[in-house]
Structure 1
Amino acid sequence: MKSYLKDFIKEQKVVVDELSNLKKNRVEWDKTVHEHLKRRGPNRSQDLTVRGTSPCYQCFFSAHVLHMRGFLTPQPVQDNTGNVLLWNGEIFGGPWGFVYYQKAGDYLWFGRDFFGRRSLLWKSDTEGNILTLTSVAAHSSEPDQSAWQEVPAVGVYRIDLKAAAEAGSVTLEVYPWARGGNDLASSCSETVLESVPGGCTAVMNGSGLVLTSPVCPLNTAIPKSFSENEVNLNSQSCVKDLEQLLASKSKDEEVNRLVVVLSEAVRRRVQSLPFSVQDSSPPPNDHASVAILFSGGIDSMILAALADRHIPAHQPIDLLNVAFKLQESKKQQESAKKPKKTKNKPTDSKTNGADLQTSSPFDVPDRVTGRAGLEELQDLNPDRRWRFVEINVTQDELHSMRQERICHLVYPLDTVLDDSIGCAVWFAARGTGFITEDNDQRPFTSSAKVVLTGIGADEQLAGYSRHRVRFKVTGHEGLIQELAMELDRIHSRNLGRDDRVIGDHGKEARFPYLDEDVVSYLNSLPVWEKADLTLPRGVGEKLLLRLMAKQLGLGQSAVLPKRAMQFGSRIAKMEDKHEKASDKCTRLLTG
């Protein structure tokens, strides 16, 4: 099987139905979904039908390949005995979604990796006795669209196709990941039952088998006393604070170990990515094989610094920085016409940037910190060609592309937060904007197929404001519970959506902070080694990562407080509405 998986990234859609429904199903094949799948896998598309007898069933497979390296192998892959594989992922450490038809036994297996880094959706049509699995769906105003759900990343699923054909309903046998806890089966069943397709039943597999977890359990130790914070820190964080902490807390060993495991995680994801995949010629010097979703914050800065270690020196690295046009109020427009008095305010571009006067409607906070981060990277390696891609989005373009594309990719998620992040990531990953080189600004579109994203850092190192709130109320015990919950739900809150959104451009999202070795190392540490929320913002949260940034030679970016993408890019202000992040977003509805 490994020979099939080794070098390729795939997308899949599988429809399992009765013989009498096959023709109808193929005639009604959703053209929009097919187009979405083809954009994810633009290099080769192929369909395959297999039949089962006594009783009758049929499986229709449609696969779309994104060719990254080596020789292109079409999918679906079928062996001499009739087994069929559709694989969407990589084998450098675990990101995958798959569907596998096992002819002997008439079984269909499918699932997502431990964290759910690849999208997989399901839906059941009870009238037609059809089960559909797909990497991406299509939003519709039809009432039955509510049946679409993300497949929970709690394990691997098996369907007995003959039994399903006889019964007229589908039973999903679950082989769950071992995630700890005393009642694994109960916890797994609850998660699956929340999103199981209508007419389907989920049960624990009859043998009680459990899949081995790819990461070690979370360290739940609680300090007997917490008096480690003996260094006097300023209320406004600065790089010197981190230097003091490195000297006083003896964190060199933990920091150095994190550098090793995270650097290796980045290396696996950025190497062996030739541009010319059909021959052995080297990529041209102006081609970047890797791009980074880049705000200038600590997460993306560290990814850039580590990628610099492993990407050939002659290749550029594309830094994708998205900004949504600020809408000026009448008061601002009137003020702009009046001459302004010069005030003695700090204008250091490497500060947080949120309060600085802007000279362009696209000078949002992430643009300001992004430029400052670019300067730090240029200081770190002046020989590298760092391409800072300014991706500017107007309100008209946002509305147009949301209706045409993004609403389908975010679906079945539907909140205001999903809309904001989904739109911001989609425009950023598209990579179409401007770059400035030699004082010359020109249009530019990144052709990098691999897009690194910093998701997973905040979830593991207490980077969100809610972590400070939880710590203040319930201490270390509550904070540990919050962090455990973050990773348990990241598959349903973030990763499927981001995979669908980035994959729409024929690119692959890669998540170094969610590499199994990185997660295992961070899980092994007591929580106070990773974050110290008694310290000021910009130091205490993600403390270990900030110390690592200092170790790597980064500057002011090491102490930038967390700024959510929807606020840093200013998309949250684009609609000028008072909404909660958890509200359902009417803008994602199609006509």
Structure 2
Amino acid sequence: MCGIALVLSGGRIVVVPSAAAAAAAGIHPSDEGKGVTVDELKEALRRRGPDSLGCERLRVCADGTVLGGDGCGVGDGGDVGVAELCFIGATLQLRGAVPVSQPMVGHSGSVLVFNGEIYGGIHVADDQNDTQSLLASLESCCSCDCHVLVRDETCSCCGSVGKSVPQILSTIKGPWALIYWQKDSKTLWFGRDAFGRRSLLVHWPTPDDSRFILSSVSPRSFAINTSASTVNGLGSGANNEFSDSTNMSYWEELPCGIYNIQLKDFEKNAMCIKEACIIKVRKHEWMDSSLDKLIQWKRKSIVPTVDDLSFRNPTEADKNIAYKVLIVLRESVMLRTNVNRLFEGDLTKLKDDELAPIAILFSGGLDSMILAALLDQFLDSKWTIDLLNVSFDEQLAPDRISALSGLKELQRISPIRRWRLVEIDTALTHLKEESEHVMSLIHPSNTYMDLNIGIALWLAASGDGWVDGSICNMKEGSRYKYKSTSRVLLVGSGADEQCAGYGRHRTKYRLGGWVSLDEEMRLDVQRIWKRNMGRDDRCISDHGKEARFPFLDENVIRTLLEIPLWEIAKLDEPVGKGDKKILREVANLLGLKGAALQPKRAIQFGSRIARESNRKNFGSNRAANQASAGSVEIHQHTL
């Protein structure tokens, strides 16, 4: 997990989405924006990447000449006619044989800041870091204008030079967000993976701050106190790839995709209006056909025939299909839990009973139990697995009750393993300062539901709680304070969206049948980047931890789409049986008989933070329900 950012300023440049150029006429470039500073970005990013922090500054003249810099200074501007690019990279290094730092500068002078993990598409040697491997691949890319100008097919001028940047990025399996300066073409590339598993926020130029800024997270000062502004449709109504309205906050979630800005002879090639050179952001299509199919999320078999439901051996068929899902889930967890030489060296510094390189955000529910059982299969038995469970009602919260039950089941199927249940207890009334901090992390999300989920995830990811030695078979049965040192956290995100785990899925099925259910599930997957992943990534990584999402592995998504919908879920059956039917069968294959019967509970309800939040902000649960509290936007004075 890393924190990355870019500040593009100066040079009379105003960067806009492709359809919003005309709306930028009212923006006058200024080197002294009223927005976020480089130092504020550094401070926020350093929490995500505590191992190293670096800056690289380049200046690009109007004729395309590139001048080197001496790091990112206090100033955010540049000389007249010179565009300044300030790259910032904060690193949490988990892979590679030797420490590396970002930004990383290639032999050609290209610059890369990368936040992600590569599990396929680009070869990453055991002794290499992902960023090193990716930079080597990007350095071999063709830099001709055909690719920069969104003509990504192989062109005659390329010959055998190499692939384009979009072709390389489209092949990556795994979560990523990046910012890359391709020196030869004078082009800035940026983007995030097709499911938005890593956060990347964008600030579009406004009259108050004409800079173009990308960042993994918003500094606190520019999340809580920044009101929405209207900029004649810039970045919003003028281009529905971005906002849904013309009222936008300082930051927006960057939609999934690959983008570029070319600064080659920008005063000649840009559209110049009055004092500004308007440079358009171009969006590229994904170049991998198999990835494109996953994005479209089209299932072949949606509505069953009478034969599909009647003429088969249910038990045998269910096991065969569940086994296919188990195989790809097992591979996904394996890829995400390999402990490399660099990290393994750090573990030797810990006492035997503290060895816990990987933890699980743990509710004791179906998804987290499956992840725990699979992790047990790949992690050396000498290491402990930390199970991080958060509660706002101590031992009475539903998730605490199911976590205690789940711990016993894991101890039964794997008695050799040391399972450490970390009980993270708190009260919402004690979290005013923390709530304000989490509000900045979830930004630009801003509802009570987002905040409740964000606080629960943030506290769970901290790993700071208590361990009952009597139930975990540790510390001679004493209850003791403990803070998990695990830097990798497995999270069950994506399971409900793909396997019909939400209550609204049951409602859609009841009202509109299989087709309506399929449409709702597709909508959930295609908007998960905006509703879930960016927010969750920012809250978890704020502790210098890396969230990994095995259910959102490309092969897992592909396999689930190949299975008929009626094998994924059977929503005319009771809760705890028909919802996420396929995963319940996987749990049975793993010996998790109790987990296979667990009902779905969202973290805000299972931890009981939603109940406490409703009482605090609305007076009661009933009043909150009447006000549709989950979708109500938060105002600062109510925190």
TM-score (norm 2): 0.74
Q: Indicate whether 1:89 and 2:116 are aligned.
A: yes
2:396 alignment partner, SS class: coil
1:120–1:135: 8 Å Cα contact kept in structure 2? Answer: yes
1:250 alignment partner, SS class: helix
Q: Distance between the aligned counterparts of 1:290 and 1:377, measured in 2?
A: 16
Change in 2 beyond 3 A, CA 1:32/1:552: same
Corresponding position of 1:140: 224
Q: Distance between the aligned counterparts of 1:252 and 1:67, measured in 2?
A: 39
Q: Indicate whether 1:313 and 2:381 are aligned.
A: yes
Q: Distance between the aligned counterparts of 1:54 and 1:106, measured in 2?
A: 11
TM-score (norm 1): 0.80
Corresponding position of 1:157: 259
1:88 alignment partner, SS class: strand
1:499–1:509: 8 Å Cα contact kept in structure 2? Answer: yes
- Superposed CA deviations along residues 70-128 of structure 1, whole A, max 9, x for unmatched, are 21111111123221111000101321000001112211100001110000000123445
Corresponding position of 1:418: 450
1:71–1:278: 8 Å Cα contact kept in structure 2? Answer: no
- For these two proteins, the number of residue pairs brought into alignment is 504
1:194-205 to 2 correspondences below 5 Å: none
Q: Distance between the aligned counterparts of 1:276 and 1:171, measured in 2?
A: 42
Partner residue of 1:583 out of 626, 631, 634? 631
Corresponding position of 2:513: 475
Q: Distance between the aligned counterparts of 2:94 and 2:46, measured in 1?
A: 15
Change in 2 beyond 3 A, CA 1:81/1:274: closer
Q: Indicate whether 1:130 and 2:211 are aligned.
A: yes
For structure 2, the 5+ residue unaligned runs are 13-28, 64-81, 120-172, 230-247, 471-476, 619-623
Corresponding position of 2:188: 108
Q: Indicate whether 1:260 and 2:260 are aligned.
A: no
Q: Offset at 1:256?
A: 1.0
Q: Indicate whether 1:495 and 2:533 are aligned.
A: yes
1:407 alignment partner, SS class: helix
2:214 alignment partner, SS class: strand
1:297–1:557: 8 Å Cα contact kept in structure 2? Answer: yes
Q: Offset at 1:525?
A: 1.1
Q: Offset at 1:456?
A: 0.5
Q: Indicate whether 1:408 and 2:488 are aligned.
A: no
1:274–1:282: 8 Å Cα contact kept in structure 2? Answer: no
1:321–1:391: 8 Å Cα contact kept in structure 2? Answer: yes
Q: Distance between the aligned counterparts of 1:111 and 1:449, measured in 2?
A: 25
Corresponding position of 1:38: 46
Corresponding position of 2:5: 13
2:325 alignment partner, SS class: helix
Q: Which moved more, 1:51-60 or 1:268-277?
A: 268-277
Corresponding position of 2:467: 435
Corresponding position of 1:73: 100
Residue identity opposite 1:580 in structure 2: S
Q: Indicate whether 1:222 and 2:305 are aligned.
A: no
1:13–1:133: 8 Å Cα contact kept in structure 2? Answer: yes
Change in 2 beyond 3 A, CA 1:590/1:80: farther
2:492 alignment partner, SS class: coil
- Superposed CA deviations along residues 277-309 of structure 1, whole A, max 9, x for unmatched, are 667958642221111111111000000000000
1:586 alignment partner, SS class: coil
Q: Distance between the aligned counterparts of 1:213 and 1:386, measured in 2?
A: 39
Partner residue of 1:272 out of 334, 339, 354? 339
Corresponding position of 2:126: none
1:140–1:589: 8 Å Cα contact kept in structure 2? Answer: no
Q: Offset at 1:19?
A: 4.6
Corresponding position of 1:59: 85
Q: Offset at 1:363?
A: 1.9
- Superposed CA deviations along residues 247-266 of structure 1, whole A, max 9, x for unmatched, are 63522211111111001100
1:453–1:512: 8 Å Cα contact kept in structure 2? Answer: yes
Q: Distance between the aligned counterparts of 2:188 and 2:529, measured in 1?
A: 22
1:215–1:520: 8 Å Cα contact kept in structure 2? Answer: no
Residue identity opposite 2:182 in structure 1: Q
Change in 2 beyond 3 A, CA 1:27/1:454: closer
Q: Distance between the aligned counterparts of 1:587 and 1:420, measured in 2?
A: 14
Q: Offset at 1:583?
A: 2.5
Change in 2 beyond 3 A, CA 1:464/1:376: same
Q: Offset at 1:24?
A: 4.2
Change in 2 beyond 3 A, CA 1:213/1:282: farther
1:506 alignment partner, SS class: coil
Q: Indicate whether 1:302 and 2:385 are aligned.
A: no
Q: Indicate whether 1:504 and 2:537 are aligned.
A: no
Residue identity opposite 2:286 in structure 1: W
Corresponding position of 2:283: 174
Change in 2 beyond 3 A, CA 1:171/1:211: farther
Q: Offset at 1:246?
A: 8.5
Corresponding position of 1:348: none
Q: Which moved more, 1:170-179 or 1:49-58?
A: 170-179
Q: Offset at 1:215?
A: 6.9
2:428–2:609: 8 Å Cα contact kept in structure 1? Answer: no
Q: Distance between the aligned counterparts of 1:501 and 1:61, measured in 2?
A: 23
Corresponding position of 1:48: 56
Residue identity opposite 2:56 in structure 1: L
2:448–2:629: 8 Å Cα contact kept in structure 1? Answer: yes
Residue identity opposite 1:460 in structure 2: Q
Q: Offset at 1:585?
A: 3.4
Q: Using the aligned pairs only, state the percent identity.
A: 37
Residue identity opposite 1:142 in structure 2: T
- Superposed CA deviations along residues 157-195 of structure 1, whole A, max 9, x for unmatched, are 011224666432231111133799xxxxxxxxxxxxxxx
Q: Indicate whether 1:250 and 2:317 are aligned.
A: yes
Q: Distance between the aligned counterparts of 1:22 and 1:443, measured in 2?
A: 52
For structure 1, the 5+ residue unaligned runs are 1-8, 181-209, 232-244, 326-360
1:75–1:86: 8 Å Cα contact kept in structure 2? Answer: yes
1:125 alignment partner, SS class: coil
Corresponding position of 1:238: none
Residue identity opposite 1:140 in structure 2: I
2:62–2:266: 8 Å Cα contact kept in structure 1? Answer: no
Q: Distance between the aligned counterparts of 2:34 and 2:105, measured in 1?
A: 20
Change in 2 beyond 3 A, CA 1:170/1:226: farther
Change in 2 beyond 3 A, CA 1:212/1:527: closer
* Structure 1 vs Structure 2 CA RMSD: 2.7
- Superposed CA deviations along residues 136-176 of structure 1, whole A, max 9, x for unmatched, are 013132335713100001x2001122466643223111113
Change in 2 beyond 3 A, CA 1:214/1:230: closer
1:454 alignment partner, SS class: coil
2:4 alignment partner, SS class: strand
Q: Distance between the aligned counterparts of 2:451 and 2:84, measured in 1?
A: 37
Q: Offset at 1:273?
A: 4.7
1:44–1:65: 8 Å Cα contact kept in structure 2? Answer: yes
Residue identity opposite 1:398 in structure 2: L
Change in 2 beyond 3 A, CA 1:123/1:27: closer
2:50 alignment partner, SS class: coil
